[in-house]
Structure 1
């Protein structure tokens, strides 16, 4: 997820030290006010933070997206084919879609009646779909992606400075393609990106093909692992694609704007070393390829878009790149079952920074002190969030990381490694919640380990440091 930046700090200064680090999302799409005859108001999937998003009766298993764009104008045309399984009887199909105007919907290749209202695309099947039915939806659309603001940033499909890119966490993928826009419903992706000559398109997954015709180039990508919709990464621009030597079975490739100086590229040159360190703790890297894509957006925060993390084209430390790489395990492979459990993403990626520091021979005590001091300055809460403004605060990052360190001190490095690897392997390509992680801890190390974590997970106040950690931090 985006690491907290100067922009977030400025918001905190304005809102107060106990305030949220994420401003409420704003959409230019009006809410549902009236529906055509035959349609009904859709129910959301019931996520704790975004209850209106998603549909409880849908399991989208695959998205095939054909997107035609031009980085010189803020419009696109798209065709999305969704493979879906009905989880319950469906009289109406509801997708999240606040994006360009829909012109046609095909249900199993037959024209279907639809209504695009608010941030939903509603489709009426000719006969109700029974639970267990597998079907396809084809959606054709064209226009300007919907405006969606969060933390002072535009989210979704962004076009500016002769480039386009996606940046959708937490809730903006549906501004440019129809989807079930919750991480609990992950899916695989096939992409066909059609861009003008002189521009390059890169995306999440492995490039599988490319052809040029009539002044345009179509590049194809395949991401077979089930991934959250917000984590889909696409970059279109005048790019320098750099291929690095493979790291074991992992292909490495980066995409930099052609004018990116060496000093900005430098922190990403050690990805192979980072992969080696993190696989030692987390287990095998869950995808076939990894790299970074940079954009000139001056306000951008780093984001763990799957297999192709998104970064601003400015100088930054290695720990930022390490943080987003760790999310490939925790966030992109192991997905959230509910946004309230976002610490399972951010706390794990933050703790990876300490693992990297240890590998470099650095003293981790200053990092632990900094985390705890930051938490003492903020209003405390349990790890599980209850509102959107809490998603990316210090609790999700630093308290989540300290929770893992408390576990490590309690059970030792060998058992801690087994916990991380069993959790990553058991929930690869699946969604998980806090209770799922605690169950893994219990399976590996017993109930006493879970009991040691409970104050850090559940207490509304900040727990005191364990005695052993106090001793460690007291050493000079």
Structure 2
């Protein structure tokens, strides 16, 4: 919806949905080229503390108390959070009740926020999760629910890219505002909860069992993982990735066959290889949670969401690479999704090369076959349909291969590591990558990369 129409909707609905007064002027959204309505410009959420209760796994009903630690980079007349979730039961600002209203996909909180004055905003909510249609797939994003079968309890998990977290939590739902998370997930006894970050506690409570997870490094909101169900946790030996010790764990549905489990045994090997190219792993833990619906795999932070049908080494490599590119190095605008998908696709070639020349040739040939004599586009997307198309993945990967060919393996490896290190937790655009290429590799290398980024037609294949 255009900003003008959105503002009119707020003006009309504010009095009815709020505490009786007309809604204030429309806050400025983040300014995303693809999703201009998402986020609030000037709002910086540094931490989400989420106490989530799932009373009946497999349904869309949930209860939560979410405390956001917020600060401002410019004077804000109010807070505007993206939210399409359950009914709001109350909002407090530093412990005191505050006025709020819901309109046009936003939770508007009637307090001004000045730069240099952080605040803690708590939202209590309960009811069924909302629905956010996926831009490409015939599914709703956000809180997924699979009913139980026989005596088995149901299953819930998050599947939110690009903008589905707002379907169940109030968030600044733009990747340019990554934040840390604390999650306490309460489920009935006999049910397991898993989430992004390191598990720090499991406690019996009158409501069941509470699993606590700490995701200390900032991540985009869409990358938040939560899984609830009769899951089997498999812990694996920790690995060193770029000098950093990484704990490994996976989660499987009951009765998952051995052949589905087997590829995940190579996760440590995959991380070590990627660390040789990308540098230290950016988080404390990693693994995968296997789900049964035929969805695409998703790089949820520290715990990739892996459908049974995607349980193969190539996909594990791709989603693991996203922990660096997408989760640690966040997008500054959704139009730059190739910065996530091109880098993760290129990781598939790095893995294939480590397995042997024939496997590497097969990957390169498959890329060439997929783009030759087919429409392509400049890498910065212009529409939602272009976010996850062939160009974002394959042309993006070929752009990196062309850069590697222009500068050689050593400088290319150093460039990848510098990019991953210097852009961690910083909203990143294509222009930032091009500027870094010029600084680190020189004008000629930047020109090679820029041709692949901007050319209307496909450049000569490397």
User: How much does 1:429 deviate?
Assistant: 2.0
Greater shift in the superposed pair: 441-450 or 391-400: 441-450
1:45 aligned partner: 30
User: How much does 1:365 deviate?
Assistant: 2.5
Counterpart-to-counterpart distance in 2, 1:138 and 1:165: 23
Counterpart-to-counterpart distance in 2, 1:186 and 1:315: 27
2:117 aligned partner: 133
Q: Select the residue among 390, 397, 422 that pairs with 2:393.
A: 397
- 1:291 maps to 2:270: no
Counterpart-to-counterpart distance in 1, 2:278 and 2:58: 41
- 1:339 maps to 2:334: yes
User: How much does 1:118 deviate?
Assistant: 2.5
Q: Select the residue among 143, 147, 159 that pairs with 1:157.
A: 143
For the residue of structure 2 that corresponds to 1:67, the secondary structure is strand
**Does structure 1 retain, via aligned residues, the 8 Å contact 2:297–2:310?**
no
For the residue of structure 2 that corresponds to 1:336, the secondary structure is coil
- 1:89 maps to 2:75: yes
- 1:73 maps to 2:73: no
- 1:302 maps to 2:286: no
Counterpart-to-counterpart distance in 2, 1:212 and 1:361: 50
**Does structure 2 retain, via aligned residues, the 8 Å contact 1:375–1:399?**
yes
Output one character per residue of 1:212-250: Cα deviation in whole Å (capped at 9) or x when no partner: 123500010000101000000010000100000111200
Gaps of 5+ in 1: 1-30, 470-476
Aligned length: 433
Output one character per residue of 1:392-424: Cα deviation in whole Å (capped at 9) or x when no partner: 001100000000000000000000000000000
Residues 1:115 and 1:215: Cα distance change in structure 2 (over 3 Å): closer
Output one character per residue of 1:9-41: Cα deviation in whole Å (capped at 9) or x when no partner: xxxxxxxxxxxxxxxxxxxxxx75521224233
Residues 1:132 and 1:377: Cα distance change in structure 2 (over 3 Å): farther
Counterpart-to-counterpart distance in 1, 2:429 and 2:58: 41
Gaps of 5+ in 2: 1-8, 16-20, 148-153
Q: What aligned pairs does 1:164-243 form with structure 2 within 5 A after superposition?
A: 164-214=156-206, 216-243=208-235
1:416 aligned partner: 412
Greater shift in the superposed pair: 422-431 or 347-356: 422-431
User: How much does 1:460 deviate?
Assistant: 1.1
**Does structure 2 retain, via aligned residues, the 8 Å contact 1:195–1:201?**
yes
Q: Select the residue among 324, 348, 351 that pairs with 1:329.
A: 324
- 1:34 maps to 2:6: no
Counterpart-to-counterpart distance in 2, 1:141 and 1:192: 15
1:142 aligned partner: 126
CA RMSD of aligned residues (A): 1.3
Output one character per residue of 1:362-385: Cα deviation in whole Å (capped at 9) or x when no partner: 422232222122123542210001
1:311 aligned partner: 306
- 1:102 maps to 2:94: no
2:372 aligned partner: 376
Q: Select the residue among 239, 256, 259 that pairs with 1:260.
A: 256
2:349 aligned partner: 354
Greater shift in the superposed pair: 279-288 or 424-433: 424-433
User: How much does 1:458 deviate?
Assistant: 0.3
Q: Select the residue among 423, 429, 432 that pairs with 1:433.
A: 429
Residues 1:306 and 1:315: Cα distance change in structure 2 (over 3 Å): closer
**Does structure 1 retain, via aligned residues, the 8 Å contact 2:399–2:453?**
yes
Greater shift in the superposed pair: 444-453 or 224-233: 444-453
Counterpart-to-counterpart distance in 2, 1:414 and 1:390: 32
User: How much does 1:438 deviate?
Assistant: 1.5
4+ residue runs of structure 1 moved beyond 6 angstroms? none
Counterpart-to-counterpart distance in 1, 2:75 and 2:206: 46
**Could you state the TM-score of these two structures normalised by the residue count of structure 1?**
0.89
